[in-house]
Amino acid sequence: MLYSKVLKPFFFKMDPEKAHHLVIDGLAMGSKVPGTLAIMNGMYGVKPSPELKSNVLGLTFEHPVGLAAGLDKNGVSTDGLSNIGFSFAEVGTVTPKAQSGNDQPRLFRLPPDEALINRMGFNNEGSEAMSKSLQRRKQHKMPIAVNIGKNKVTANELAHEDYCSCIRTLYDDGDFFVVNISSPNTQGLRELQHGNELHNLLVHVCEEMDIQARKRKAPAKPIFVKIAPDMSDEQLEHTVATIQNSQISGIIATNTTLSREGLTHQNQGETGGLSGVPVRDRSTEVIRKVYQLTNGNVPIIGSGGIFTAQDAYDKIRAGASLVEIYTALIYKGPEVLRELTDGLKECLRRDGFSNIVEAIGADHR
């Protein structure tokens, strides 16, 4: 109630990007004050429950709901995020060198559509700065996924060098990694999702992960590829086949969309990636197709338009092992984590499942 009655009206009177920074900086600063993390956890934390706990690729998740990339671009607020109910968080997208991103304004709310449009352009402080931030963590309560990308000035044929550079710098700081080739806000980036460019990129990325693992005499950490919702069925088939033929661990479906179908708010004309409720059904459809194409053998993280427990459960039944939120956090606040996890437990009881793992891909059986 605190968020919906007090904080949201305050934030929604502000410029969206200023509000974004206020939240992230507040979480980061608050985690440095003794006792604040415990207060956050008491107010918003999600209590562990056996029916929601799972293991994916050797990593333990207390429940399926994590934070999608784009909110904590520099990895500065992971302690705060882990105490408001998330079971994992994607930080980034990070690039080797710091970059300012696209011109402002570049983040827009569409309240009646429960959506956001962003054209941020991978604004971040660079991989070295993120590494220092993640090394300052006080707690390690949840897995951290490092979402990596290329600098705007790097040509696509050299993109693998940027991704590998991020891996080298951040390998010890992340629990798993995400290759972002699907943001619509870096010119030409989505071309890396297809054909020889994708194959070449994934070969280099997997080789770098193996090199770092061998140096540490340990198994390579998991690495996912985040794909766009805007591919045709044929494109999706080819992309998934290329991913399967590599050593990539899993797929995140999906990133933001370029579609504007069904929008009513005046900001619908802004360029950039659309997130929130309008992308919900398409992302679930892509999850379903990816699960079918991989015969359920490749872990999927479902992302896009999750506002209710049923939204999350639909993605899990379609084939997602885990799910992520972003826009729902902006519109509903941290209370949404308890709403989602409590609701997921009700969904499991309704369908006669004793653990969330039993529901993964249930629609295909």
Could you tell me which of 92, 59, 94 has the C-alpha nearest to residue 78? 92
CA–CA separation, 169 and 177 (whole Å): 12
Q: Structure tokens of 72?
A: 């904590």
Give yes or no for residue 194 having a pLDDT over 80. Answer: no
Residue found under tokens 């340990």:
218
228 φ/ψ sector (left φ>0, alpha ψ -120 to 50, else beta): beta
Residue found under tokens 């992230």:
24
Give me the mean pLDDT over the 128-152 stretch: 96
Q: Is 303 a catalytic residue?
A: no
Q: Is the peptide bond before 93 cis (omega within 30 degrees of 0)?
A: yes
Question: What is the per-residue pLDDT across 227-285, written as a single tens digit (0 to 9) for each?
Answer: 999 999 999 999 999 999 999 999 999 999 999 999 999 999 999 999 999 999 999 99
* 105 DSSP 8-state letter: P
273-276 and 115-118 strand pairing = antiparallel
Q: Where would I find the beta strands (DSSP E) of the chain?
A: 54-56, 59-61, 65-67, 89-94, 107-110, 115-118, 144-148, 176-180, 223-227, 250-253, 273-276, 300-303, 322-325
Q: Structure tokens of 183?
A: 């943001």
The H or E element that residue 143 is part of is none
Could you tell me which of 329, 320, 331 has the C-alpha nearest to residue 362? 320
Share of the chain above pLDDT 70, in %: 100
Cα distances (Å, whole numbers) of residue 162 to 20, 28, 61, 184, 205: 27, 27, 29, 18, 10
Give me the mean pLDDT over the 115-119 stretch: 97
Q: How confident is the model at residue 1 (pLDDT cuts 50, 70, 90)?
A: low
322-325 and 107-110 strand pairing = unpaired
SS3 label, residue 5: helix
CA–CA separation, 116 and 257 (whole Å): 11
Q: Structure tokens of 176?
A: 């798993």
**Domains of the chain, earliest start first:** 2-364 (3.20.20.70)
Choose, from 127, 183, 283, 321, the residue flagged as catalytic: 183
Cα distances (Å, whole numbers) of residue 348 to 43, 341, 343, 357: 25, 11, 9, 10
Question: What is the per-residue pLDDT across 286-319, written as a single tens digit (0 to 9) for each?
Answer: 999 999 999 999 999 999 999 999 999 999 999 9
Give yes or no for residue 357 having a pLDDT over 70. Answer: yes
Give yes or no for residue 345 having a pLDDT over 80. Answer: yes
Q: Is the peptide bond before 169 cis (omega within 30 degrees of 0)?
A: no
pLDDT of residue 192: 80
Q: Cβ neighbours of residue 133 under 8 Å, at least 6 residues apart?
A: 74, 75, 76
Mean predicted lDDT score pLDDT of the chain: 95
Q: Structure tokens of 21?
A: 């920074």
Global pTM value: 0.96
pLDDT of residue 189: 77
CA–CA separation, 63 and 46 (whole Å): 9
Residue 34 CB neighbours (<10 A):
6
pLDDT of residue 201: 95
Question: What is the per-residue pLDDT across 27-85, written as a single tens digit (0 to 9) for each?
Answer: 999 888 999 999 999 999 999 999 999 999 999 999 999 999 999 999 999 999 999 99
